[in-house]
Amino acid sequence: MKKKIVLILSLFNFFFQENTIIKSFFNNHLNLKSAKFTFRILTTQNNEVKFESNGEFLIKNDSYKILTDDVIYYYNDSFLYSIITDEKEINIYDISNVEVSNDNILFKSINPKELVVFLKKYYSYELILNQDNKTYTLFFNNDFKPNYEIKFNSKFEIKSIKIINKNSTFNNILFFENIKTDIEIDDKEIEININNYKDFFINQLWKF
């Protein structure tokens, strides 16, 4: 009888801890005010790297900036600006009602706040303690969308995101480093000033 009680208490404690960790993970990212980090994107096919890109991400409230090897992105007031410096071109998209789709899945996964909102709304999830006993992996499953594996540490900092495409041999992995949260970010760092690009061609688009 004592063994059964101990087992029941152990199971209860495990589920309580699991729910606490998951809840804390969601709250941490949904309430994110500001952050800055570097990232690396790998696109693989049958475990072979086909594409690699590096960049930096800054977010302050609902505005963010993404710097990649060849494009700079700004998101302000429901509009996304992509600046292609080599071609002197700016594309402007209204993405106020655009959610994660197969067309923009990789781009939107860079923003942890936006991604977590999407996953919490549409996915079931399961938490696993990794073998290092220092990190966790949240598995997100949806029968009609790509699955996700998010690895994070005890501070709830996301270390990597794996996007698993069910109907393709291509998968994407994002690695995050140099993470700083709740920091001071000047508005000038994160808001676009069109006047700085007077000699650029501006292309107004409505789909992303």
Read off the tokens for 19. 């729910």
Q: Are 79 and 73 in contact (CB under 8 A)?
A: no
Asked if residue 192 is part of any domain, the answer here is: no
Asked if residue 194 is part of any domain, the answer here is: no
Asked if residue 124 is part of any domain, the answer here is: yes
Asked if residue 90 is part of any domain, the answer here is: no
Structure confidence at residue 105 (pLDDT): 58
pLDDT by 10s per residue, the chain, length 208: 544 443 343 333 444 477 889 999 999 998 989 999 999 999 988 888 888 889 999 999 888 999 988 899 998 888 889 999 899 999 998 876 666 555 555 566 778 888 888 899 899 999 988 878 789 999 999 998 889 999 999 899 999 999 988 888 888 899 999 999 989 999 988 988 888 898 999 988 765 5
Beta strands in the chain (DSSP E): 34-45, 48-60, 63-68, 72-76, 79-84, 89-94, 124-129, 135-141, 147-153, 158-164, 170-181, 201-205
Structure confidence at residue 9 (pLDDT): 35
Range of the domain at 179: 2-61+97-184
Asked if residue 147 is part of any domain, the answer here is: yes
SS3 label, residue 73? strand
Structure confidence at residue 2 (pLDDT): 46
Asked if residue 74 is part of any domain, the answer here is: no
Structure confidence at residue 50 (pLDDT): 87
- Bridge partners for 36 per DSSP: 58, 180
User: Residue 30: which CATH number?
Assistant: 2.50.20.10
Structure confidence at residue 101 (pLDDT): 53
Structure confidence at residue 140 (pLDDT): 95
Structure confidence at residue 208 (pLDDT): 53
Structure confidence at residue 110 (pLDDT): 77
Asked if residue 133 is part of any domain, the answer here is: yes
Angle formed at CA 27 by CA 63 and CA 134, multiple of 5 degrees:
110
Round to whole Å and give the CA distance between 192 and 92.
Answer: 11
Domain count, the chain: 1
